[in-house]
Amino acid sequence: MRFKKLADLERPRPREIILREMPQEIPAVRYALDKAFKINELVLALHHQSYEWYGFTLGPRSRPELVADVGLPGNLDNVQDYTSISPELIAAFQESLPKALVINGWIHSHGSMDFRGFSALDEANQMTVLDYVTARLRFPVAKREVLIKDLALFTEGQYSERDLERGAVCLITDAPVNQARILETVYGGFCYSIVVGDGGWHRQKILCITRSILSGQTAVTRKTAEIDIIEEDRTLQAAELEALREEVRDKIKPIAYKLAKLESV
């Protein structure tokens, strides 16, 4: 058998209809970023040394792509170059929030470290947060054609058990059909990952996951993104600063022993 061109050997690409775009940048109010850097300052002031800490970015349930605030849970471990997170801690913190707020990502500090990026441990923490966030905030992002090489079409009441031996997939309808196209829903979700450091620097990523409802195809993408800062009148007032100071004192507790698993690129 001869083919006129190599394209004849290629499997046809499934048709895909985009229903909703994933975020391309991170919209965040100035208040949320200011709060994150203030936590950095308070850690240094209260503990006389810069330590890693982590929290969650929070958004309104009605607009989950917006970073409107930063929440600080009780951290498990705080040393200079290590921080970890667990699904149980994420779930417990979400339950403590007002119903109008949802976790849409996580934020952590590298303190005084020179490493201005995401470590292998950070990547693991990011996936933990992504799995939790997208389990609660998934939405249909596309309709994707399911390519079936050998589709057998039958009409209800007009086929035998022997007929069902035909085809890789059988589609039974209530009326005769000559041709059929099957589109599966692709669900998706996202979360943000932000790292900040002493001196005011920050880096951020958007993590996205898609999963096809019929074929089960799953894909995870990580994209470096810019923060779109939204200026608002809200600022950290004296009472909020004092409350935040107490939160840092209570929830970020440096440990004296050395952990074996440290940050690595």
Contact between 56 and 105 (Cβ < 8 Å):
yes
Contact between 68 and 56 (Cβ < 8 Å):
no
* Tens-place pLDDT, residues 219-228: 999 999 999 9
pLDDT of 33: 95
Q: Where are the domains of the chain?
A: 23-139+189-208+219-251
- pLDDT of 263 higher than 70: no
pLDDT of 116: 86
- The whole-angstrom separation of Cα 146 and Cα 141 is 16
pLDDT of 265: 45
* Tens-place pLDDT, residues 83-115: 668 888 899 999 999 999 999 999 999 888 878
pLDDT of 78: 56
Q: What angle do CA 150, 156, 162 make, to 5 degrees?
A: 55
- pLDDT of 1 higher than 70: no
Proportion of the chain above pLDDT 90, given as a percent? 67
Highest mean pLDDT among 1-10, 17-26, 79-88: 17-26
* Residues 6+ positions from 79 with CB-CB distance below 8 Å: 51, 52, 254, 255, 258, 259
Confidence of residue 262 (pLDDT cuts 50, 70, 90): very low
Contact between 155 and 174 (Cβ < 8 Å):
yes
What kind of architecture, by CATH, is found in domain 23-139+189-208+219-251? 3-Layer(aba) Sandwich (3.40)
For the ranges 38-42, 59-63, 116-120, 242-246, the lowest mean pLDDT is seen at 116-120
